[in-house]
Amino acid sequence: MGEIRNFRSGNHDEPPPHGSMPRRLAAIIVGDIASYSRLMQADEEGTHLRVKRIERDLIQPSIIEHHGALVKTTGDGFIAIFDSPVEAVRCSIVIQQNLVGRNASLPKETRIEYRIGVNLGDVIVEPDDVYGDGVNIATRIEGIADPGQVYISGAIYEQIKHKVVCGYESLGDRKVKNITDPVRVYRVLPDADAVGKTRGRRENTLIFLLGVTLLVIASGVLWYLLAQPHGKGTEQAAAPTAAPVASPSPQSQPRDAAQAPQPSPSLAASSPSPSPSAIPVREPEMIAIRGGSFAMGSNDDATERPIHQVAIKPFSIGKYPVTVREWNECAAAKVCGFVAAGKDDAPISNVSWADARQYAAYLAEMTKKPYRLPSEAEWEYAARGGTQTKYWWGDKLQPGMAGCKDCGDLAAEQPAKVGSFKPNPFGLHDMGGGIDQWVEDCWHKTYQGAPADGSAWSSGDCTSHVLRSGSWKNDSRYVRPSNRDGYDTNVRYPTHGFRVALSP
Amino acid sequence: MSILRCIALSLSLAVLSSAALAQGKTAPKDAKLYFITPYDGAKVRGGFLVRFGLRNMGVTHAGDDYQNAGHHHLLIDVNDPIDPKEPIPQDKSHLHFGAGQTETFLELPPGTHTLQLVLGDAKHYPFDPPVVSDKITVRVRQPSQRGK
């Protein structure tokens, strides 16, 4: 606590707390645990301990990282103030996303979920508390938020809408208790994954209904045709029944017709091309990652120090490591150095950094999109999936999350096909374990002097480059999202692969 | 006699080729891998230079498949035996020198550590018989500016 106070009085131009009514404009975060009474009833001491741990390990550090100040913690919640609305909302998102990771392994009834409300207001700041209309409104907004959600007021929204790259869902003007004017409220959809989820549920229902309808029609047609005298009937019946299967969309997209390095005809066969002149290239499935800021590194290993704050611009990254199938298209085009022998769905392995670079360049050339290797910071940001825990799913090892020597059951054949383990909160598979992954950065033994803008660190001795993720041959220490290692740039090794990134 | 010689020749060829298939390329019997520095039992402070010595074989880039040549691997505090059927592991205690390096600057935490060199072939497999150095021990002391 003392540290936080110092921080506040040290870094902000506010009058000493004992002056006459120090007022200031501040972004106020109010957080509160949903169903706290129920949790306490079920396990008083356990819940208390867990809440304290969350406050110590997650809430306080996140507030400090985002240049805020914790005003106070109540039994089941906290109030913090920030100079910047942008930082306040980022901090809220970080807290909520971390909690997703922490809760992932717990049964629903024991999860600790916070509601968070953010408002901008002119408030009276005292050493141990903060007062004013603005605080009350933040509290009311928090009160109507769903557990696990961040709700913000219109005033905050106006400040951040073009700065924090998130989805915002307007909930309209809400009348809140004891406040005369209605308050405009927005729900923050923190990352691509969250947006996907809300949409996903609706879409799933729709797809299900569509499927049912098509099935009914198909069986009707089938029955009709079978009831008719035999002949042309059965062949026609095949067409409608096939229809519901068509939902998974092919990965490849129409290409610009201007450039035409002809890949071999065998490649062209696999994916349907909407325009006849398109060049079919199998593009890896990409996931859009919204930008943000995070604490990169850890104290678990000397190479991961010092922990430093890094801002990440929006980018996309492969949902899986690049596969043998994808690689072999590049090899068939005589760009990539060798034809890989593994199963199509296995990650490409035994590639050097230079090989990985070559594939990304090939993909960029064929698609005219800026494909590249991710920077080390982007990789870790994506691997953490918004969490600050040891692993993306929490602090303890769990089976089914990652492929490593002591992570749980490993299939006999390795490397296992991509996507064999659960995706992280950003929807990415194999970000830790499975196959080592090259990133763009040159190897440096520590983060001393590392860039803070999320770009690749390309200066210095570049005879080796950075590997991330750890492989099936490493133990669980290597699966941590902060783990890093260096390896000779031009040397191939059987556990080394990569995934691609894409600038927007 | 000539038939016998033929059989012997084909037998030896078969043995050789099967040995080649089972990875583990053969190494000359008199090949010797050793540490130039540090010596066994050395006491060092902070970082120190480790230089690799190899006699009767050559050092080459990983991936280059020349007879009687390989690249260095430095094993730090490794107690597991070397598996001749698997590539030499790659992690923080198995350092690879696939670009043909013959020395490295090592920074280890204070305490006693063991070092051992293992020569790997083009695909990082140990040779047959394995070309390894003696396992040496170094004692790393606290860096002077912090000690006492």
Q: Does B107 touch chain A (CB under 8 A)?
A: yes
| Contact status of B125 with chain A (Cβ, < 8 Å) | no
pLDDT at A96: 87
More confident residue, B139 or A42: B139
Picking from B137, B142, B127, B126, the residue whose alpha carbon sits closest to that of residue B35 is B137
* d(CA B48, nearest CA chain A) in Å: 15
Looking at beta carbons, which residues of chain A come within 8 Å of B99?
A: 463, 488-491
**Which is higher by pLDDT, B40 or A194?**
B40
Chain B residues in contact with A496 by the CB 8 A cut-off are 90
CB contact under 8 A, B98 and A493: yes
Percent of chain A scoring above 90 in pLDDT:
49
Q: What is the pLDDT of residue A220?
A: 66
Mean pLDDT of all residues in B77-94: 94
Those residues whose C-beta lies under 8 Å from the C-beta of residue A489, and which sit 6 or more positions away, are A352, A353, A354, A462, A463, A464, A465, B99
Q: Is B123 on the interface with A (CB under 8 A)?
A: yes
Q: Is the pLDDT of residue A497 over 90?
A: yes
Residues of chain A found within 8 Å of residue B92, distances taken between Cβ atoms: 301, 485
Cis peptide before A415 (omega within 30 of 0): yes
* Confidence label for B19 from pLDDT (cuts 50, 70 and 90): very low
CB spacing of B62 vs A488 below 8 angstroms: yes
| A493–B90 CB contact, under 8 Å | yes
- CB-based contact B36:B50 (threshold 8 Å): no
Residues of A in contact with B87 (CB under 8 A): 493-494
pLDDT of residue A13: 45
A494 touches chain B (CB under 8 A): yes
What is the predicted pLDDT for the residue at B3? Answer: 53
d(CA A464, nearest CA chain B) in Å? 9
Question: Residue B98 and residue A478: Cβ atoms within 8 Å?
Answer: no
Taking an 8 Å cut-off on Cβ atoms, the answer to whether B89 and A473 are in contact is: yes
A487–B96 C-beta distance less than 8 A: yes
Which of B62, B89, B91 lies at the smallest CB-CB distance from A491?
B62
Question: How far B108 CA lies from chain A's nearest CA (Å)?
Answer: 10
The ipTM, to two decimals, is: 0.83
Q: What is the pLDDT of residues A150-205, one digit of tens each?
A: 999 999 998 888 777 677 788 888 887 778 888 889 888 765 444 444 444 555 66
Contact A350, A414 (CB under 8 A): no
Distance CA B78, CA B125 (A): 17
B64, B54 Cβ separation under 8 angstroms: no
Q: Does the beta carbon of A219 lie under 8 angstroms from any beta carbon of chain B?
A: no
Q: Are B117 and B38 in contact (CB under 8 A)?
A: no
Residues of A in contact with B91 (CB under 8 A): 473-474, 478, 485
Flag the least confident range among A18-27, A311-320, A464-473: A18-27
Q: Which of B87, B92, B98 sits opposite A488 (nearest CB)?
A: B98
Residue appearing with tokens 């009474």: A37
Show residues of chain A in contact with B98, CB under 8 Å.
Answer: 487-488, 491, 493
A473 falls in which pLDDT band (50, 70, 90)? very high
Weakest mean pLDDT among A164-178, A305-319, A345-359: A164-178
Contacting residues of B for A495, CB less than 8 Å apart? 90
Phi/psi for A111 (5° steps) reads -70, 140
Partner residue facing B90 (CB), from A302, A487, A489: A487
Share the mean pLDDT of chain A. 82
B87 upstream amide cis, omega within 30 of 0 = no
Average pLDDT over residues A365-371: 94
The region, left, alpha or beta by phi > 0 then psi within -120 to 50, assigned to residue B24 is: left
Which has more pLDDT, A99 or B41?
A: B41
Q: What is the pLDDT of residue A259?
A: 39
CB neighbourhood size of A335 (10 A)? 17
B107:A492 CB<8 A: no
- CATH fold group of domain A3-190: Alpha-Beta Plaits (3.30.70)
Separation CA A227–CA A364 (nearest Å): 55
Say whether A487 and B62 touch across the interface (CB within 8 A).
Answer: no
**Mean pLDDT confidence for A340-350:** 94
* Per-residue pLDDT tens digits for A408-442: 877 767 888 999 999 999 999 999 999 999 999 99
Residues A226-239 have pLDDT tens digits of 665 444 433 343 33
Residue A309's pLDDT is what?
93
Asked if A493 is an interface residue toward chain B (Cβ–Cβ < 8 A), one would say: yes
Residue B45 near chain A (CB below 8 Å): no
Residues in chain A, total? 504
Angle at A272 between CA A289 and CA A332, to 5 degrees: 80
In this prediction, residue B39 has a pLDDT band, given cuts at 50, 70 and 90, of very high
Q: Kindly identify which residue of chain B lies nearest to residue A303, measuring between CA atoms.
A: B92
Per-residue model confidence (pLDDT) at position A248:
38
End-to-end CA distance of chain B: 79
Percent with pLDDT over 70 in chain A: 80
The answer to whether B50 and B40 have CB atoms below 8 angstroms apart is no
Give the three-state DSSP class for B37.
strand
The architecture that CATH gives domain A265-502 is Alpha-Beta Complex (3.90)
B91 contacts chain A (CB < 8 A): yes
State residue A231 phi and psi, 5-degree precision.
Answer: 160, -115
| DSSP structure string for A199-233 | HHHHHHHHHHHHHHHHHHHHHHHHHHHHHSPSSSH
Instruction: Establish if B80 touches chain A: CB-CB under 8 angstroms.
Output: no
Summarised one tens digit per residue, pLDDT across range B41-76 is 999 998 999 999 999 999 999 999 989 999 999 999
Alpha carbon of A504: minimum distance to chain B alpha carbons (Å):
34
Domains in chain A: boundaries: 3-190, 202-241, 265-502
Verify whether the Cβ–Cβ distance A473 to B96 is below 8 Å: no
pLDDT at residue A125 in the model: 87
- Distance between CA A352 and CA A367 in Å, rounded? 23
More confident position, A56 or B49: B49
User: What is the per-residue burial (b if ≥16 Cβ within 10 Å, else e) of A301-316?
Assistant: bebbeeeeebebeebb
